[in-house]
Amino acid sequence: MRQAKLLGNLSLPVRRSLIMVSTIKWGIGGRISFWDDNWMRRGALEELFPQVYVAARSKSKLVTEMIREGIWDLRIRPRVNANVGEESQQLLSQLQMVQLNSDREDACICHFDHYEKFTVCSAFQHLAVSDGVTKCEEAEAIWRSLAPTKVKFFTWLVLLEKVSVAKVLQRRRHDLYISPSCCIICHRGAEMVEHTFLRCVFVSDLWERLAGELDLRWVPPGSIKEVFERD
Ligand SMILES: [Zn+2]
């Protein structure tokens, strides 16, 4: 088992960055990957001690599997070069300072969550704040709406210009020949998100009818984003 269970099945880079902003309460070490996880808070051991890692017999051991009766066993293959010996001594001296607690399970205390538990929501909010990402007000309007969930998701994809119109498909698949420069409905513009959902003559007609039903006048906005900025 390569992945530790402490933070579930999250990818390795995500686990490492989350552990950086968390406190691990060591228990018996049965949920921490010895080489992969940044459990000593200096970096993953496989990166800090690359030569020992290469020489190690097993790369997927948990912390608890690397210590027996208080003695660390790095399980290094015989006949390795001298550098490995030196590096392994450094690693062992650092491991001597680790105190495992046999009375409890490992726990990860997430500082960014009110309840100190990892949740996708709290992790996102933490990353958004630390990376200086501002909230997308337009997306907020979509998620607050009373539309069915699948409509909300589709609208959100439109806002992000991620729906599979010809221009997006062509960007993803260079081997396809799908004429993104020509809207298959009106043949008057490129099949891109803005055209398909705002400017295509047939779509404009639909918007005008909808506005008419609400006694409003349809004034085409400058961009998809503008649609959600309006009151
Ligand atoms: Zn069109």
Sign of the torsion formed by the C-alpha atoms of 199, 201, 206 and 207? positive
| 2 has a pLDDT exceeding 60 | no
Domain boundaries, the chain: 12-130, 137-229
For residue 120, report the distance from its CA to the centre of ligand 1, in Å: 39
User: How far apart (Å, rounded) are the C-alpha atoms in residues 71 and 17?
Assistant: 29
User: How far apart (Å, rounded) are the C-alpha atoms in residues 106 and 99?
Assistant: 12
Least confidently predicted of 81-85, 194-198, 203-207: 81-85
The 3 state secondary structure assigned to 25-73 is: ECCCCCCCECCCCCCCCCCCHHHHCHHHHHHECCCCCEHHHHEECCEEC
| 231 has a pLDDT exceeding 60 | no
Q: Taking the CA of residue 155 as centre, how many other CA atoms within 13 Å lie in the half-sphere pointing to its CB?
A: 18
pTM of the entire predicted model: 0.48
**Ion ligand 1, residue ranges at CB < 5 A:** 183, 185-186, 200
pLDDT at 208: 94
For residue 197, report the distance from its CA to the centre of ligand 1, in Å: 9
Which of 154, 103, 112, 160 lies closest to 136, judged by CA?
A: 160
